Chain A
């Protein structure tokens, strides 16, 4: 895996590329796909934050008379339930809107956990080298030996499903990418003149690491994190689908699909719409992330 590095800043104070941020935005805005992605993402975040105000019904409210109402455009549809109702008469649209909360919370929080662990280990591994590096690289190798989903599945089940467990387990099974990239970047940067200069001016190892090396890995970290949020959302949905979800009754997209699978032959809309919600959200994040990669650093793999 060849990892590109940013050109080191000329002055010793290692200012991150703040001046070029407007250029990044312009590049981002020129791409219609990324723009569409940003728009979708904006809507999903809005839905999650204002779920109580924008969803037409209570997501948990059941109504046996209204069971299996098809979407509004199909025969027998009801305008009050635009995407239809499920097997106990709950409004699917409202459940999807509320489900966005779990997806986004898990996606973002799991990535934060991965970031903290992965970047720290990557910095240490690249900067200290030697035995520390060997140990950390081995841990990365071990982590890579397991399909992430399998490991997450086993540990979430063992620890007992809950929102916090899912976040921590997904975070702790998805950090190794950051370590590999940050390690490679630090290795490449370590011998550069500006680091040498900082050291010569009396900067200690901690200062060198945090003030001079870390800021130079920011652009690849931002890109990786964005794409990782998409992965974490897919993983959370898969965990919920396989039955080790948040352990609460609050709707999640994966759980809705899992319930809908049993009714696929009588009510196609049950599994279809939550899946579309996942697809659109993840696609939007991927489009934005891909564009960010082009704009920030074309050399990340």
Chain B
């Protein structure tokens, strides 16, 4: 058990090293960062800056310094805001997390009952309807769903604001949009993992014992179907953060995603790097936690 945790921690460190390498590469492939920092300066000034920032040192040396800076939380100055990049990104994180968590909760609220019902009444009209909805949901571009929701609820009915983040009402459409992106996959997984357990012996035994159908489904079956769901939660988190980037742009939500997209358009690489690294870090940490949780939840691994 302990050695397993140690191995997981080692893998965490290795993966984070890889993540920093990829983040480092973003600036490297862009060509000449100094030209972006001082577009109008004469070549002599640029050369001086290149020298002082160490851009003409060998790549491994630059990478080592980059990692050292990351550890100290230093991603450099934003080219555009002329402030340290990391605090700018961190300040917008709560908004993105609020949106993400809200969408995750809504997705679970929708996907769990519908997925279970779909599995229990396999091949019923309801099941086919749910399958169709899953197909439609996975085939819709997130940003378009958002615009269609704006069209319907903000332009046509005028119930909700078109964009912004000033009132609680403004939260509804972005949250719904993100939910529409994450629910179909979740529903499909709930359904298939329920289908796998619903005909197993212990479920049949529980039924034979006279346990009520409600309890059989929600206690005996679902608890065991939950294991694959936990693993998926980690992947789902990355998906949601990716969706949040688009959703925030559609609705002008002042979160990390919008900041990063803006920075990408302005080629403001310190912010892009800080944002990309932070998001990857969150995904890695969530997956790490899920891994440990999985070990804890799954007795088969725990004993080994």
Residues of A within 8 A of B (CB): 138-139, 141-142, 144-151, 153-155, 157-159, 230, 234, 237-238, 241-244, 254, 257-258, 260-261, 264-265, 268, 271-272, 275, 278-279, 282-283, 286-287, 290
Contacts and interface: CB of A to CB of B under 8 A. Distances in A.
Interface in B3-54: 11, 14-15, 18-19, 21-22, 26-27, 29-30
Nearest to A146: B280
Contacts of A145: 15, 18-19, 238, 280, 283-284, 287
B264 interface: yes
A278 B144 contact: yes
25 contacts: A141-B18, A142-B21, A142-B22, A145-B18, A145-B19, A145-B287, A147-B242, A150-B245, A150-B279, A153-B245, A154-B264, A154-B276, A155-B26, A158-B26, A158-B29, A241-B249, A242-B249, A243-B261, A257-B144, A261-B250, A265-B155, A268-B155, A275-B140, A275-B147, A283-B139
A147 B241 CA distance: 7
B58 to A, nearest CB: 21
A167 to B, nearest CB: 16
Nearest to B147: A271
A136 to B, nearest CB: 12
A149 B239 CA distance: 9
A287 B265 contact: no
A246 B37 CA distance: 25
B138 interface: yes
A291 to B, nearest CB: 11
B79 interface: no
A261 B155 CA distance: 12
A268 B151 contact: yes
A142 B267 CA distance: 24
A149 B245 CA distance: 9
A133 to B, nearest CB: 14
Nearest to B27: A158
B100 to A, nearest CB: 11
Given A145-B283, A261-B147, A264-B151, A279 B264 contact: no
B141 interface: yes
A138 B261 contact: no
Interface in B149-198: 150-151, 155, 162
A241 B246 contact: yes
B139 A279 contact: yes
Contacts of B275: 150
**Tier of interface size on chain B:** 35 or more
B71 interface: no
**Residue among B143, B260, B261 having the largest count of chain A Cβ atoms under 10 Å:** B143
A230 B147 contact: no
Given A142-B19, A154-B276, A158-B269, A279 B135 contact: no
Given A147-B283, A154-B276, A286-B138, A271 B19 contact: no
B136 interface: yes
A69 B117 CA distance: 46
Contacts of A149: 242, 245-246
A138 B265 CA distance: 31
A96 B288 CA distance: 44
Nearest to A134: B14
A155 B31 CA distance: 12
Contacts of B21: 142
B272 interface: yes
Nearest to B237: A147
Given A146-B19, A283-B139, A158 B148 contact: no
Contacts of A264: 147, 150-151, 155
A268 B151 CA distance: 7
Contacts of B250: 261
Given A159-B29, A278-B141, A146 B279 contact: yes
Nearest to B276: A154
B147 A147 contact: no
Given A275-B148, A278-B144, A151 B18 contact: no
**Residue among A146, A155, A238 having the largest count of chain B Cβ atoms under 10 Å:** A146
A142 B15 contact: yes
A22 B198 CA distance: 34
B160 to A, nearest CB: 13
B116 interface: no
A254 B15 contact: no
- Those 5 A-B pairs whose CB atoms lie nearest each other, nearest first: A147-B242, A142-B18, A275-B144, A283-B139, A158-B30
B21 to A, nearest CB: 8
A272 B249 CA distance: 18
A258 B249 CA distance: 10
A154 B136 contact: no
A290 B135 CA distance: 10
B142 interface: yes
Nearest to B142: A238
B137 to A, nearest CB: 10
Given A147-B283, A268-B151, A279 B265 contact: no
Given A154-B272, A244-B264, A159 B245 contact: no
B239 A147 contact: yes
Contacts of B241: 147, 150
Given A154-B26, A283-B135, A141 B11 contact: yes
Contacts of B162: 265
Given A258-B143, A265-B155, 20 more contacts: A138-B15, A139-B18, A145-B287, A146-B279, A146-B283, A147-B241, A147-B283, A149-B242, A238-B141, A238-B143, A241-B143, A241-B246, A243-B261, A261-B143, A264-B151, A271-B151, A275-B140, A278-B144, A283-B139, A286-B135
